Copies of this chain bind each other. A is one copy, B any other.
Amino acid sequence: MASYPTSRPTIYDVAAEAGVSKSLVSLVLNDSDMVSAPKRDAVLAAIERLGYRPSRAATALAAARTRTMGVLIDDYRNPWFVDLLSGIREVVEPAGYLLTVAERRTSSADEALEGFLGSRVDALVVAGELASNHADLGIPTVVVGGRDHDVSGADHIASDEAAGVRLVLGHLSELGHLRIGHVTGRGGSARRRLAAYVDGMADLGDSPRIAGGDQETNEEGGYAGTIQLLDAYPEVTAVFAANDTMALGARAALKEAGRRVPDHASLVGYDDSLLARARFLDLTTVDSRNDEVGLATGRALLRRLAEPSIAPLSVVIAPRLVVRSSTARISAQLA
């Protein structure tokens, strides 16, 4: 039986209700300090009584800015973006900006970007992979993470994945592991971690042992990749997976192969996800500090909004090793 009102109150209704001019209402809405307290209170009370909400469309059209920033993520099911989002929000919300999120999985990156540009967002965050290079989008843009593809003129903020991998290899070698296998997968992040693994193994003076390059970077891929790894390199005493979800799959493969973690094999993931924290896995992993990445992203956005023409910025955030019970000193029988 509900019927939907076709006309919500406008700024005119508020002005009439408060007994002031339309201009004054606008000043109050924009937090101007040229409004006396009594007038301001009268307007606010009228707004409250009428249940007035400014039309974002009208505001955006008149002010020629939306006070909204678009964030393009990979996939809602890959929750690394959550901390990133919190970090960005923490910086830009106090400055009066709203965040809107789009997912590349359900609409191509191009469609999503087009959507943001059509919405006239004031700035853009591209988090994750891009299918191609893009010309300057005409608004402040921050690329977070990968640099396989780029947006020209954009600022770049990334967690230092090479440093993260070095932390992993350093930790494992301190525990006596040298025959460290790596389960990788498709995608830029896995590729960067793989490259750092190869470099790191050279530094350790051992040869790389790699499997899973054709796999997706999910549980299934981690399982299949680890099967391949153990098949090709049965001598490995430690498995480093490209991310925590793959490590979850690796754990199942190790179990099937009769190798208990950590006694018969150490296992390391990457991302410090909720998964890694779960007691049943209790996975040694790397925290990319995505909240810090988010804070830096937010600051870069505000900075470029204030000064559009400064040279592109590049920030790298140091990751942190999180040691849990999935890694242990190599046992006498394996060494």
Contacts and interface: CB of A to CB of B under 8 A. Distances in A.
A55 interface: yes
Interface in A51-86: 53-58, 60-61, 64, 66, 76-77, 79, 81-82, 85-86
Given A219-B279, A248-B280, A255-B280, A76 B66 contact: no
A251 B280 contact: yes
A249 B279 contact: yes
Interface string A249-277: 10111010000000000000000001101
A86 B57 contact: no
A217 to B, nearest CB: 13
Contact of A76 (B76, B117, B223): B76
Contacts of A57: 56-58, 60-61, 66, 119-120
B77 A79 contact: yes
A2 to B, nearest CB: 3
A118 interface: yes
A107 to B, nearest CB: 9
Contacts of A89: 106
Given A56-B57, A252-B279, 10 more contacts: A1-B153, A2-B136, A2-B309, A4-B138, A5-B138, A53-B118, A218-B274, A245-B274, A252-B278, A280-B280
A108 to B, nearest CB: 14
Interface residues of A, number: 62
A219 B274 contact: yes
Interface in A235-254: 245, 248-249, 251-253
A267 to B, nearest CB: 11
Contacts of A251: 280
Contacts of A79: 76-77, 79
